[in-house]
Amino acid sequence: MSVTKKLMYINRRAPYGTIYAWESLEVVLIGAAFEQDVSMAFIDDGIYQLLKGQDTNDIGMKNFSPTYSALGDFEVTQIFVEKESLEARGLALDDLMHLTYEDEDEDYAEKDSIKVVSSSELADIMEQQDVLYNF
Amino acid sequence: MSVTKKLMYINRRAPYGTIYAWESLEVVLIGAAFEQDVSMAFIDDGIYQLLKGQDTNDIGMKNFSPTYSALGDFEVTQIFVEKESLEARGLALDDLMHLTYEDEDEDYAEKDSIKVVSSSELADIMEQQDVLYNF
Amino acid sequence: MATLHTVNKSPTDRNTLEACLRLAKGGSSVLMIEDGVYGALKGTQKSGIVEDAMKDIKFYVLGGDLKARGIEENKLIDGVNVVDYAGFVNLATENDRVQSWL
Amino acid sequence: MATLHTVNKSPTDRNTLEACLRLAKGGSSVLMIEDGVYGALKGTQKSGIVEDAMKDIKFYVLGGDLKARGIEENKLIDGVNVVDYAGFVNLATENDRVQSWL
Amino acid sequence: MKFGIQINEGPYTHEASDTAYHFIKAALDNGHEIFRIFFYHDGVHNGTRLTAPPQDDRNIVNRWTELAEKHDLDLVVCVAAAQRRGIADADEAKRNGKDTDNIAPGFRISGLGQLIEAGIQSDRLLVFGD
Amino acid sequence: MKFGIQINEGPYTHEASDTAYHFIKAALDNGHEIFRIFFYHDGVHNGTRLTAPPQDDRNIVNRWTELAEKHDLDLVVCVAAAQRRGIADADEAKRNGKDTDNIAPGFRISGLGQLIEAGIQSDRLLVFGD
């Protein structure tokens, strides 16, 4: 395949209550093999996927939150979090997992993957995409 | 079975988008055989189940709305519609199907099955039930 | 460069329509399908968010889903256009991408 | 005569918690489970509806669902009680009926 | 106390089936009785023996089968909901002209009357769904 | 124009599968091409041959099989989602030690890469879900 497209994965669901968050993360991991220009957007309750300190022991489900930290190794380095959604939930960037990647263009310096953007900035970014995956 | 209980079926979902409305109506029809004291409550988007003039031809799904008119024959005669939910949707009783039953205690006079009640009245009625079925 | 947004949830049940309108740029089209068609009703608690967005955004609603739910066209917010499935296909081709708000 | 109401939807996604609180009588108990536990968070757009209802209604939240979602107890609205599954069973027995808001 | 349980959603897709399981275990551990577990809507998918979840995840269907065996639970899959969704036992498969069935051990297929009865005969009915 | 289609919900339970069907028919009628239909999440339940819906209702699974045959459509069921939910073809059944399979004619089971590819190769990707 020779085409390179801009693909964005859009996440609006809380984790665990339904499986969408986990199964959409599986798509992102597989998608990494296709060497496209990928990004993720976390909007509304999708933001809850990124909360620190998830521990599913008492409910007997698989804790998939550590997988987000691996995204950088899969070259998924552009993770947009909508500011308005954070604020509506009383959350700040510091409540989310610290996701990073190594920038190979800058001698593998560690950089933050998450960018907090306003609704209006995110709308612009969505408008630049070729494909929007929703789950 | 000798017990007689007050059973209420609670409907909060719009029809067709999902099957809950139709499958819950199937429960009500089967439940009629048990000769209990039954009632139905329509709350929030559940009210849309009762809108007049449904025609599913173009979407190729089964139109189950005529079944509501048969509820009276199944001795389901207490149908509570929450006033606040109607108003939030800009609807009035006249927008809903006219559901009736024949009152055998009054020489089979035709009576209205639907009663529009306030949230606070409905809360009282729910509190008198033995079993609340949700779908 | 424009986007077709589809919304299939009732605005009195979920926040989907609000999310769509917060993130749809001017010049976008919004198509209401399935239970999303209740968003096209005038006189509801939520009609205002559509009326306010109409300056910049074109609104469409799937006719088959309206009829199924017993909604006559005179109950719609003025300016919402009714389309059939072929019209849905045209909207998808005329825009550069489709964002399906689930 | 009292009712246990369970709510399993996030209040920032759906209207379920609002419906529950509109129809729960004083003296009722509300247990937030699954994605409903986000309703117990303080400082959100929706915390106020729980805080206002607390005069008349007792609020509980399922601890396992909180922990799974990374919510520490110090993030909860004051007065919300954390229970485990055995506590859920007790609430179901202590009340006269259970209304499961879906 | 006697509990009736209704489960409306399929395994893995929705937490409803997990919550119901943990509630039921806690109820049994505390000396209560489970009159019946009724699987309705997509809940019927809890009763297929064809699931093969990842090794590092729970096996929801096997968990039901084992719990039913241990505590002699009545796991009822709604026949109408099952027909629409492709869950069948040997009798249903035969009646509907299907070449195979897929129901898991410990489950039985029956009518909606079993749900009404669970409501009437139990002290409390709890519904787990979406 | 070439469309890629993703379907996230099961038949009957949610209208998503119906809307996708009507969209695809209209697209084909208007001379467009369907690159692939990818069934994900509960959408995998569209691919079971064991459904037996009431006589007076549409048969969603058969409708897919017939449309695929008529227009040579590629109906792909996600393997990971299918394993969790109990949809298997003969190979999958064998690999997972199951005594039977339940996939409907015209569907094939494959990986998530097929969805990514549908997004890349199609002019438009449309998602139908809950």
Q: Which of F7, F73, F78, F115 is catalytic?
A: F78
Alpha helices in chain C (DSSP H): 16-23, 47-53, 63-68, 85-94
CB contact under 8 A, B16 and C12: no
Distance CA A44, CA A72 (A): 23
F125, C98: Cβ pair inside 8 Å?
yes
Contacts of E110 in chain B (CB under 8 A): none
Give how far F55 is from chain A: nearest CA, Å. Answer: 32
A106 pLDDT higher than 80: yes
pLDDT at B31: 96
Closest D-chain CA to C14: D14
Residue among A122, A124, A134 whose CB faces C102 most closely: A134
Whether the pLDDT of residue B119 is over 80: the answer is: yes
Is B84's Cβ below 8 Å from some Cβ in C?
A: no
D64 contacts in chain A (CB < 8 Å): 57-59
CA dihedral sign, ordered B10, B15, B16, B18: negative
F78 included as an active-site residue? yes
Residue linked to tokens 């998918």: E45
**Cα Rg of chain F, angstroms:** 14
Q: Do chains C and E touch (3 or more CB pairs under 8 A)?
A: no
pLDDT higher than threshold 60 for residue A1: no
Torsion angle defined by CA atoms of residues E67, E68, E71 and E74, in that order, rounded to the nearest 10 degrees: 140
Q: Would you call A89 helix, strand, or coil by DSSP?
A: coil
**Which structural domains are found in chain B, ordered by start?**
6-134 (3.40.1260.10)
d(CA E78, CA D37): 30
The pLDDT of E43-58, averaged and rounded, is 97
Cα–Cα dist A34/F116, whole Å: 8
Please report which confidence band the pLDDT of residue A3 belongs to, taking 50, 70 and 90 as the band edges.
confident
User: How high is the pLDDT of residue B3?
Assistant: 74
Q: Rounded mean pLDDT of E3-17?
A: 98
Q: Which chains does F contact via 3+ CB–CB distances below 8 A?
A: A, B, C, E
Q: What is the mean pLDDT of chain E?
A: 98
Tell me the CATH number at C92: 3.40.1260.10
Per CB distance under 8 Å, which residues of D are interface residues toward C? 12-15
Q: What is the pLDDT of residues A11-46, one digit of tens each?
A: 999 999 999 999 999 999 999 999 999 999 999 999
Q: What pLDDT sits at residue F100?
A: 98
Dihedral angle sign, alpha carbons of residues E19, E21, E24, E29: negative
Chains that touch D (3 or more CB pairs under 8 A): A, B, C, E
| ipTM beyond cut 0.95 | yes
What are A67-84's pLDDT values in tens digits? Answer: 999 999 999 999 999 999
Q: Which residues of B106-133 are buried (b: 16+ CB within 10 A; e: fewer)?
A: eeeeeeebbebbebeebbebbbebbbbb
* CATH at E70: 3.40.1260.10
Q: How many domains does chain D have?
A: 1
Residue D72's CB: how many other CB atoms inside 10 A?
Answer: 11
Question: Would you state the torsion angle of the CA atoms of residues F14, F20, F22, F25, taken in this order, to the nearest 10 degrees?
Answer: -150
CB contact under 8 A, B133 and E127: yes
Boundaries of domain holding D57 = 3-101
Q: Domain count of chain F?
A: 1
Cβ separation F117–A5 shorter than 8 A: no
Task: Kindly state the tokens that stand for C69.
Answer: 């739910």
Eight-state DSSP code of residue C3: E
Beta carbons of C100 and A44 less than 8 Å apart: no
Q: How do residues B51-109 score in pLDDT, each as one tens digit? A: 999 999 999 999 999 999 999 999 999 999 999 999 999 999 999 999 999 998 999 99
Interface of A with D in 10-69 (CB under 8 A): 13-18, 44-45, 48, 51-59, 61, 63, 65
Subunit contact C14:D14, Cβ cutoff 8 A: yes
Mean pLDDT of chain C: 97
> Could you list the residue range(s) of the whole structural domain that residue F51 is in?
2-128
Q: Cα torsion for E110, E113, E119, E122, to the nearest 10°?
A: -60
Q: Over 80: is that where the pLDDT of D1 sits?
A: no
Is a pLDDT exceeding 70 seen at residue E42?
yes
Cβ(E43)–Cβ(E7) below 8 Å: yes
Residue B1, pLDDT above cutoff 60: no
Model confidence pLDDT, tens digit, residues D21-67: 999 999 999 999 999 999 999 999 999 999 999 999 999 999 999 99
